[in-house]
Amino acid sequence: GAVVSQHPSRVICKSGTSVKIECRSLDFQATTMFWYRQFPKQSLMLMATSNEGSKATYEQGVEKDKFLINHASLTLSTLTVTSAHPEDSSFYICSAEGQHSNQPQHFGDGTRLSIL
C-alpha cells in the first residue's frame, strides 16, 4: 500500500532554532500534501495544504512566515518551523493525496517537536 515517510520522528532543540521536517511519498506521486498539528489529547488541526510547484495554502490563524512550506517535487514536501519557541512544541503530521482524488490520504508517522 501507499507509504508516507516523515522525518525526523523526534526533535528536541533550543528556543530560536529553525527546524525542518520532511514528508515523502515513497511509492506514489503526491500532487497535494497536507500538514497537521496535534496538541496533546486533541484532534488534528490542518495547518496548510501544499501543492507541488505552487505556494502553500494556509489555514486561518497559521502564520505562513513562521511555518514555511516547500513542495518542490511530487514526492517531497518540507515544513520549516522558523525561530521555534516553546509554544511551537507539538506533534506535527503530514499526509499525502495521490493523483486520483478519490483515494484516501495516507499519513506519516508524525514528528514530535520539543522546544526547550
Partner 1 sequence: GEDVEQSLFLSVREGDSSVINCTYTDSSSTYLYWYKQEPGAGLQLLTYIFSNMDMKQDQRLTVLLNKKDKHLSLRIADTQTGDSAIYFCAEILPSGGYQKVTFGTGTKLQVIP
Residue numbers of the site for partner 1 (CB under 8 A)? 6, 31-32, 34, 42-44, 46, 49, 51, 57, 93, 95, 97, 101-102, 104-110, 112
**CB of 88 or CB of 97, closer to partner 1:** 97
Least distance between partner 1 and beta carbon 25 (Å): 14
> 110: phi > 0 → left, psi -120 to 50 → alpha, else beta; which?
left
In the chain, the amino acid numbered 111 is T
Least distance between partner 1 and beta carbon 44 (Å): 5
Nearest residue to 96 (alpha-carbon basis) of 56, 59, 49: 49
Nearest residue to 98 (alpha-carbon basis) of 35, 31, 46: 31
**CB of 1 or CB of 83, closer to partner 1:** 1
